[in-house]
């Protein structure tokens, strides 16, 4: 069993924080680590409980699940705050040094769990940031003064499609548009992503503008049917050019383009 040196938890928490800050090479890491250590008391309390029982010495064992859960949460927090790997890796070893009872070897399992949680959370953060970049790079353009078009491409997550649609609606509002085109011709046919794209029609109604979905060819129609999506009442065209022609036949295109 683990038997931490009996001492004031506040002193241990202070030593732990100071040691961790010293292990941080960069100022942003030190700032983030200071935030993370605001929750160190709960870990020390849980560690005291774990150390007083008959659980195995290895703190990565599931019997110490409270300690593991708290350390995993703080590791994920460090990833979310952008802490570098070196600074994150010092979290558990500096705890051992703060306790001062030679726990380094017994905390190796906990260190591995902490770093696994950190790496996973950091990867998730990178994916989210990449999605945000892709969202901003998805073409949303003005075609004349009264027409705004959006071109969805690839295999975007439904959440990203929703953000793109919201961006399209903001641009339509700023442009005082009277019609928007949403092109699906180069987009993968994921049902949830398609459903998110069709949400543009509701936003258009709220803005009081016309919405036409283009690129709705046989491939897209088949996916819509297989997914059980209803597009009754939506204006659709098989190609972008077809969407422009639809507006032209409605007597809108020339007016939208100021002709």
Pick the CATH number of 138-256 from 3.30.470.10, 3.30.460.10, 3.30.750.24, 3.40.190.10: 3.30.750.24
Q: Pull the structure tokens for residue 72.
A: 């995993």
Return the residue matching tokens 């949680």: 117
Phi-psi sector, 217: left (phi>0), alpha (psi -120 to 50), beta: beta
Inter-residue contact 9 to 41 (CB < 8 Å): yes
* The pLDDT value given to residue 6: 46
Buried b (16+ CB within 10 A) or exposed e, 196-228: bbbbbbebbeebebbbbbbbbeeebeebbeeee
CA separation for the pair 48, 26 (Å, rounded):
31
pLDDT in tens, 114-162: 999 999 999 888 877 766 666 566 778 888 778 999 999 888 889 889 9
Question: Could you tell me the pLDDT band of residue 107, with boundaries at 50, 70 and 90?
Answer: confident
Q: Pull the structure tokens for residue 193.
A: 């992503």
Domain residue extents for the chain: 9-133, 138-256
pTM of the model: 0.53
Q: What is the mean pLDDT of the chain?
A: 84
Inter-residue contact 207 to 173 (CB < 8 Å): yes
Inter-residue contact 1 to 51 (CB < 8 Å): yes
Mean pLDDT, residues 19-25 taken together: 93
């Amino acid at each position: 069993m683990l038997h931490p040196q009996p001492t004031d938890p506040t002193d241990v928490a202070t030593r732990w924080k100071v040691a961790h800050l010293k292990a941080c090479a960069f100022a942003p890491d030190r700032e983030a680590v200071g935030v993370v250590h605001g929750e160190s008391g709960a870990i020390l309390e849980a560690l005291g409980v774990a150390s007083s029982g008959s659980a195995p010495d290895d703190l990565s064992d599931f019997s110490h699940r409270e300690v593991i859960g708290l350390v995993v949460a703080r590791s994920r927090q460090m990833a979310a705050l952008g802490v570098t790997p070196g600074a994150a890796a010092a979290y558990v070893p500096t705890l051992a040094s703060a306790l001062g009872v030679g726990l380094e070897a017994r905390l190796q399992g906990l260190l591995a769990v902490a770093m696994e949680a950190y790496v996973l959370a950091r990867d998730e953060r990178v994916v989210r940031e990449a999605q945000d970049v892709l969202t901003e790079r998805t073409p949303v353009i003005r075609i004349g003064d009264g027409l705004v078009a959006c071109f969805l491409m690839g295999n975007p997550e439904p959440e990203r499609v929703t953000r793109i649609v919201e961006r399209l609606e903001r641009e339509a509002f700023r442009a005082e548009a009277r019609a928007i085109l949403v092109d699906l011709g180069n987009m993968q046919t994921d049902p949830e992503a398609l459903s998110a794209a069709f949400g543009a029609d509701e936003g258009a109604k709220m803005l009081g503008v016309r919405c036409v979905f283009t690129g709705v060819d046989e491939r897209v129609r088949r996916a819509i049917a297989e997914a059980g999506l209803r597009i009754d009442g939506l204006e659709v065209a098989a190609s972008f050019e077809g969407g422009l022609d639809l507006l032209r036949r409605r007597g809108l295109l020339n007016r939208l383009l100021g002709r």
